[in-house]
Structures are given as C-alpha cells and as structure tokens.
Amino acid sequence: MKFYCGILCLLLSTFLVFSCAPKRIPVERPPEVVWQDFWEQSSSFQEDQEFYIQTSVNYSTPDQQRRVQAAIWGFAGYPVRMDISAGFGQTVSMWLEDELRWQAYNPGENTRYIHHDGSRGATLLGFPTPMGLRETSLVLLGDFQHLVPREYHRVESHENMWKYYFEDENITSVVLEQDGSLNMIKGDGWHVEFKGIEQENDLFYFSRLDMHLSEDKEAVIRIRSVDVDRTWDQEQMSLDPPDGTRTIFLH
C-alpha cells in the first residue's frame, strides 16, 4: 500500500511541477529591426544586370490546369524575354516585355498578342499572374526594390510574424518572419506566398512562389536554376514573329 501511495505522490508532484512551469513565449523582435533586416537581405540589381532563370510553373484556372517549363532571361531594367514549353520541349508561347508593352507570340496559332500591362495580358491568355514579367523576374531573383515600398504606414503582429501595411500603393501589405525573411506579399485581390530560401554564391532567392489571384486562379512557380553571369545580345532579346502572323491587341 505504501508503495502505491508513493507512486501516486510522485505522479502528483510531477504534474504540479510541469503545470506550474513557465510557458514558452515566442520571441518577437521589434518590427523596425525586422523591416531593416528584410531590406538588408534583399538583392538590389542595377538596371544593366543580366540574368537567366529556369522554372517550372503550374497554372490553374476554373477552366483548365497546365504544367509548363519556362526560361526567363534579360536585363533587370528591361527588356525581359520568356519562352514557355510543354510536353517534349515544344515551345507554346514566347514573351517579350519592355518599357512600353508586353507581347506574346504563340507559334501553334501563328498569333501575336499585345497588351500594355504584362500581368493583365498574361492572365487573359490563361497564364494568371499578379505581376508583369519584369516584376516577376526581379522577385524570383530576390530583388523587391521595385515592388515593395520602402516606408510602411502601420504594422501589427500576425501569427508570430509582423504584417506591414501601405497606403496608396499596388502592394497593400507584406508579412515578414522574425528573421526578416519574406513570408507573403498581398495586393488588391491577390497574394503571393514565398517558400524555401536557396543560395547560389552570394545570391539568395526563394525556390517556390505560390501566386493566388481572384476567381480561383493560381500559379505555382518552382525555380530550377538561376544564373546572373550570362550575357545577352540584341538578337537574343528580340521577338520577331514570321511574316503573316496575326496580331491581336488585348484589352
């Protein structure tokens, strides 16, 4: 009997010790320090910086789903080219974006599409994205200086992270981890989640971006490789459809 009483007392003492132990509280760093860390970690490319990115992309809309491979290359300050291939490496769409317009040539249709907004043009063709080709390229390279405002309007705690809000900007909010790494960017009717930080030499970038748009449109981008030592000439940056190509201006 004494043995069982001893066991009972031991269990009760253990319960009291653990129940009275102080709870672990997540450490929160000051939001202004986290904000500064974010900008120190972000890349900042000059406009003449050349790059080459290989990705795979899953596009999803209520009407269709498609998985493609995409090669993106060009200059941080325009122009930017992208070739989209599917199946056995067959090119299905070729894009060019410069300071004035976005255009896409679809060889299978022998048709060129033109829009003044790269995000809108791509989405109309079934490739939903909240950003233009240049903006997407810079974000894939870890450069946010042309997308995220430098000054925020207010900040609040968000699931042990910090959420920063902006006024009168295309970006409405940004969520940062406690170490300053980017968790999410949100705009009007869309948001992008950032996952998996990779490093190649001195370059840090996210290996996966989940883009969510309104009307159940999504794009998941997975980066396969990044190269910032490639160089490009004028011919490699051009997009010249063959004679007889039909041209459609999107609205």
DSSP string, 129-179: -SS-HHHHHHHHTTB-TTTS-SS-SEEEEETTEEEEE-SSSSEEEEEE-TT
| pLDDT, tens digit (0-9, with 9 covering 90-100), for 60-93 | 988 889 999 999 999 999 999 999 999 778 999 9
- 115 is a domain residue: yes
What is the extent of the structural domain holding 237?
A: 31-249
* Range name among 18-32, 175-189, 194-208 with the lowest pLDDT average: 18-32
Stated pTM of the model: 0.85
| pLDDT, tens digit (0-9, with 9 covering 90-100), for 208-226 | 999 999 888 999 999 999 9
- 103 is a domain residue: yes
Find tokens 């319960």 and name the residue: 15
Question: How many domains are there within the chain?
Answer: 1
- 13 is a domain residue: no
Tokens matching residue 235? 């011919």
- 18 is a domain residue: no
- 19 is a domain residue: no
Whether residue 10 is predicted with pLDDT greater than 80 in this model: the reply is no
- 69 is a domain residue: yes
- 204 is a domain residue: yes
Instruction: Calculate the alpha carbon distances from 94 to 123, 132, 188 in Å.
Output: 15, 14, 28
Q: What is the CATH number of the domain that holds 206?
A: 2.50.20.10
